């Protein structure tokens, strides 16, 4: 197969598709999609609007297992075709790219990763919230409640709650009651603001806002069961009394002299 390879063939690209809005893919990701011969996309979450007008042969990975995915990638790559593996949001979060990259490395197929806008960032944008508020919280935790995929016990929501940092909780909306009870047990006060963003950046996006005491009932009332980000953050509350040093008139830094 070696000799059939296109001289200019690039590596296999894992590309972040972004959270839904087709304009939220990077320029590089979009260019690679349009020049690809083969695109294997995560059909359960990738907005197929991104695939309109591209010339590539398409494979939906929703019905494929790891072996089938690797088989398509290696067959197509070996026949000289340009392959893109399209993942939702950013590929480094809950996309199972680790196992795909290891298999490709084992069989000697080169690959690169192009980042994307995670749904955590799209949800924060929808909420118009700052997740790192000066003097309030300077840490963001990306996590999930254990489901069919277990979570190491040390990383339970109860344990992660201790610093009361901002949290972006993936893959957990169907377990909202457990999420709430773990966070309360871990020490967040019941009035801690919580927001749920369903299908952030899609036309059907919905936002539910409450606090740890109220969010469970609000989510059930709205009937939100999947594709939602839970954001827990003191930054969702009143931010009026906090301001950054970065833009403070008395604060000097490399680019600006303070008063
Ligand atoms: N790699 C993806 C996450 C994949 S895991 C990323 O960076 O966004 C799938 C989970 O991501 C869903 O269960 C949901 O919690 C979240 N998610 C994906 N797309 C979303 C969207 N548009 N709005 C809200 N949550 C989303």
CATH number at residue 210: 3.30.950.10
Q: Decide whether any atom of ligand 1 lies within 6 Å of the 166 Cβ.
A: no
Structural domain contains residue 255: no
Pair 133, 34 in one domain: no
Token match 């489901």: residue? Answer: 147
Question: What are residue 137's phi and psi, to 5 degrees?
Answer: -155, 140
Pair 41, 110 in one domain: yes
Partners of 239 in the β-ladder: none
Phi and psi based region of residue 226 (left: phi greater than 0; alpha: psi -120 to 50; beta: remaining): beta
Structural domain contains residue 25: yes
Residue 119 contacts residue 19 (beta carbons within 8 Å): yes
How would residue 237 be classed by pLDDT, with cut points 50, 70 and 90?
A: confident
Pair 189, 143 in one domain: yes
Structural domain contains residue 242: no
Pair 100, 197 in one domain: no
Nearest atom in ligand 1 to the alpha carbon of residue 202 is 22
Token pair, residue 154, equals 């040390």
CATH number for the domain spanning 27: value is: 3.40.1010.10
Pair 10, 59 in one domain: yes
Structural domain contains residue 253: no
Pair 104, 127 in one domain: no
Q: Residues 38-92: pLDDT tens digits?
A: 999 999 899 999 999 999 999 999 999 999 999 999 999 999 999 999 999 999 9
Q: 176-185 and 215-222 helices cross at what angle (nearest 10)?
A: 170
| Residues 203, 32, 76: CA angle, nearest 5 degrees | 115
Rounded to the nearest angstrom, the distance between the alpha carbon of 22 and the centre of ligand 1 is 15
Q: Identify the three-state secondary structure at position 89.
A: strand
Q: Decide whether any atom of ligand 1 lies within 6 Å of the 234 Cβ.
A: no
The count of domains in the chain is: 2
Q: Decide whether any atom of ligand 1 lies within 6 Å of the 46 Cβ.
A: no
Which segments within the chain are labelled E, that is strand?
Answer: 12-16, 38-41, 57-60, 83-87, 111-114, 140-144, 166-170, 193-198, 206-211, 228-232
Closest CA to 86 of 52, 59, 119: 59
Q: Decide whether any atom of ligand 1 lies within 6 Å of the 18 Cβ.
A: no
Other Cβ atoms closer than 10 A to 45: 18
Pair 232, 128 in one domain: yes
Token match 């700052």: residue? Answer: 130
Distance CA 139, CA 232 (A): 12
Pair 109, 145 in one domain: no
Q: Decide whether any atom of ligand 1 lies within 6 Å of the 45 Cβ.
A: yes
Q: Decide whether any atom of ligand 1 lies within 6 Å of the 227 Cβ.
A: yes
Nearest atom in ligand 1 to the alpha carbon of residue 116 is 7
Q: Residues 97-153: pLDDT tens digits?
A: 999 999 999 999 999 999 999 999 999 999 999 999 988 899 999 999 999 899 999
Phi and psi based region of residue 234 (left: phi greater than 0; alpha: psi -120 to 50; beta: remaining): alpha
Pair 58, 148 in one domain: no
Nearest atom in ligand 1 to the alpha carbon of residue 169 is 15
Rounded to the nearest angstrom, the distance between the alpha carbon of 172 and the centre of ligand 1 is 10
Residue 42 contacts residue 86 (beta carbons within 8 Å): yes
Q: Residues 161-212: pLDDT tens digits?
A: 999 999 999 999 999 999 999 999 999 999 999 999 999 999 999 999 999 9
Query: For position 238, what pLDDT does the model report?
Result: 59
Q: Which of 94, 115, 120, 169 to mutate to test the pocket of ligand 1 (most atoms within 8 A of CB)?
A: 94
Last residue in a domain, options 90, 114, 138: 114
Pair 28, 92 in one domain: yes
Q: Decide whether any atom of ligand 1 lies within 6 Å of the 97 Cβ.
A: no
Q: What is the DSSP string of 114-156?
A: E----HHHHHHHHHT--SSBTTTB--EEEEE--SSS---GGG-
Q: Identify the three-state secondary structure at position 32.
A: helix
User: C-alpha dihedral over 230, 231, 232, 235, to 10 degrees?
Assistant: -160
Last residue in a domain, options 114, 141, 171: 114
Pair 44, 99 in one domain: yes
Pair 130, 209 in one domain: yes
The range of the structural domain enclosing residue 40 comes to 2-114
């Amino acid at each position: 197969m070696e000799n059939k390879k296109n001289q200019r063939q690039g590596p296999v690209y894992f590309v972040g598709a972004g959270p839904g809005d087709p304009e939220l893919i990077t320029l590089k990701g979009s260019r690679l999609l349009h020049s690809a011969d083969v695109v294997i996309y995560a059909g359960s979450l990738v907005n197929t609007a991104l695939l309109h007008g591209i010339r590539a042969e398409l494979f939906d990975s929703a019905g494929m297992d790891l072996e089938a995915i690797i088989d398509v990638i290696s067959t197509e790559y070996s026949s000289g075709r340009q392959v893109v593996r399209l993942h939702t949001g950013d590929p480094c979060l809950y996309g199972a790219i680790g196992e795909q990259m290891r298999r490709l490395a084992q069989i000697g197929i080169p690959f690169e990763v192009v980042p994307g806008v995670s749904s955590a960032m799209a949800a924060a944008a929808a909420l118009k919230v700052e997740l790192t508020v000066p003097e309030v919280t300077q840490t963001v935790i990306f996590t999930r409640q254990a489901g069919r995929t277990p979570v190491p016990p040390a990383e339970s929501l109860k344990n992660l709650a201790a610093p009361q940092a901002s949290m972006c909780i993936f893959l957990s909306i169907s377990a909202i009651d457990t999420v709430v009870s773990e966070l309360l047990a871990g020490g967040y006060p019941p009035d801690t603001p919580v927001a749920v963003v369903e299908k952030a950046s899609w036309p059907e996006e919905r936002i539910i806002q409450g606090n740890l005491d109220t969010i469970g009932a609000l989510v059930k009332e709205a009937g939100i069961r999947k594709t939602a980000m839970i954001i827990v953050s003191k930054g969702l509350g009143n931010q009026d009394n906090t301001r950054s040093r970065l833009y403070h008139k008395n604060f000097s830094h490399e680019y600006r002299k303070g008063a």
